[in-house]
């Protein structure tokens, strides 16, 4: 035993095999420690504090029932919301009227329209416009075309136009078309020199010689667009149907009984730009027009019926002819070959 204050310089010897095991263990620990230090960037890096992992977000609020309770969902990147581009509102023509609905089974014609009245034919029209040829019935207004014995005007015809002008929006009418060779029935928007504007127009037309077809036309500054003729899935003279067109700054789409039937192509430069009046007419043309509408062999007094007319400005919601017209009431459900056609 050493005395108090003496330093022990050695310890009792261990058996030789145990010494070897201790030495080998020490070497292994030293090597492992060195590898860990230098793999972390050396002594200086190893001494730095470890940063906590970045927060992860998971779309648990959108998990389906099958995913409830699962934790292996992929992290959802949180990114700033991107602003949704807002399409600028269409600026309507300054002279475009407000929404209009005329129930012509009940309302007086003079409330929203004027009847045309002339002494003789003009341009390509083969007779005079006669206000007396517009008859009021329980089914709406009848626009009659009559044979007359006067050389200056062998026919009297019928037309009425809106008191106000209308621009971009949806135009609707319920019509039953007059039948007979030589007759033309039209529902259209028109403006021109009489209003000190270029000739802009959008048409829906029917020829009495074949009332299973419908024609669409449009003009801008007197330049005609892509005229089109389509077969209807019915005879337009046998029952009333709902006809419409939607006019926007870059497109016109025509509808039959609520179904889109025809549309202008994107980029069409013939889309009208000027507001105009809404017209309804039933007429026959000068002899030169017979090549198109047929010889005037129709029965005197043959009529086209107009029971409703409406206009809804673009971007608005207002009562229209479509609210009360039901194509099922005509006794058949119409079918169409496709949703829409282009020129």
Give the catalytic positions in this structure: 201, 205
63-66 long-range Cβ contacts below 8 angstroms, 24+ apart: none
Contacts of 240 (CB under 8 A, 6+ apart): 139, 174, 175, 176, 305, 307, 325, 330
**Which residue from 162, 164, 246, 158 is spatially nearest to 204, judged by alpha carbons?**
246
Q: Give yes or no for a contact between 284 and 294, defined as CB atoms under 8 angstroms apart.
A: no
3 state DSSP class of 338: coil
Give the number of C-alpha atoms closer than 13 A to the C-alpha of residue 269, restricted to the C-beta side: 1
Q: Is 119 exposed, middle or buried (0-12, 13-18, 19+ CB in 10 A)?
A: exposed
Q: Give yes or no for a contact between 117 and 125, defined as CB atoms under 8 angstroms apart.
A: no
Contacts of 107 (CB under 8 A, 6+ apart): none
- How far is CA 2 from its chain centroid? 107
Give the number of C-alpha atoms closer than 13 A to the C-alpha of residue 271, restricted to the C-beta side: 18
Q: Give yes or no for a contact between 264 and 343, defined as CB atoms under 8 angstroms apart.
A: yes
What is the spatial distance between Cα 112 and Cα 98, in angstroms, rounded to a whole number? 12
């Amino acid at each position: 035993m050493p005395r108090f204050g003496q330093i022990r310089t050695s310890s009792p010897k261990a058996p030789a095999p145990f010494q070897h095991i201790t030495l080998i263990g020490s070497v292994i620990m030293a090597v492992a420690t060195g590898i860990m230090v230098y793999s972390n960037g050396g002594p200086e890096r190893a001494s730095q504090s470890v940063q906590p992992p970045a927060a992860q977000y998971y779309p648990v609020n959108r998990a389906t029932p099958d995913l409830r309770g699962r934790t292996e969902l992929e992290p959802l990147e949180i990114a700033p919301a991107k602003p949704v581009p807002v399409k600028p509102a269409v600026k309507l023509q300054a002279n475009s009227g407000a929404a209009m609905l005329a129930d012509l089974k009940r309302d007086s014609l003079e409330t929203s329209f004027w009847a045309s009245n002339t002494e003789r034919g003009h341009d390509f029209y083969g007779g005079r416009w006669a206000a007396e040829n517009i008859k009021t019935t329980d089914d709406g207004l009848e626009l009659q075309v009559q044979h007359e014995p006067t050389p200056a005007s062998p026919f009297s015809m019928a037309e009425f136009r809106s008191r106000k002008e209308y621009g971009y929006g949806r135009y609707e009418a319920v019509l039953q078309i007059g039948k007979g060779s030589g007759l033309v029935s039209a529902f259209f928007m028109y403006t021109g020199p009489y209003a000190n504007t270029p000739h802009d127009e959008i048409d829906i037309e029917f020829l009495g010689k074949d009332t299973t077809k419908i024609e669409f036309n449009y003009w801008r500054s007197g330049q005609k667009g892509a005229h089109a003729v389509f077969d209807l899935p019915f005879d337009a003279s046998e029952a009333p149907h709902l006809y419409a067109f939607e006019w926007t700054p870059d497109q016109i789409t025509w509808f039959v009984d609520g179904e889109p039937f025809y549309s202008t192509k994107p980029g069409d430069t013939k889309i009208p730009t000027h507001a105009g009046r809404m017209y309804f007419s039933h007429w026959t043309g000068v002899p030169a027009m017979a090549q198109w509408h047929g010889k005037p062999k129709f029965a005197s007094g043959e009529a086209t019926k107009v029971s409703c007319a409406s206009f809804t400005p673009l971007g608005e919601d207002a009562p229209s002819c479509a609210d009360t017209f039901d194509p099922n009431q005509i006794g058949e459900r119409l079918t169409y070959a496709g949703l829409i056609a282009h020129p």
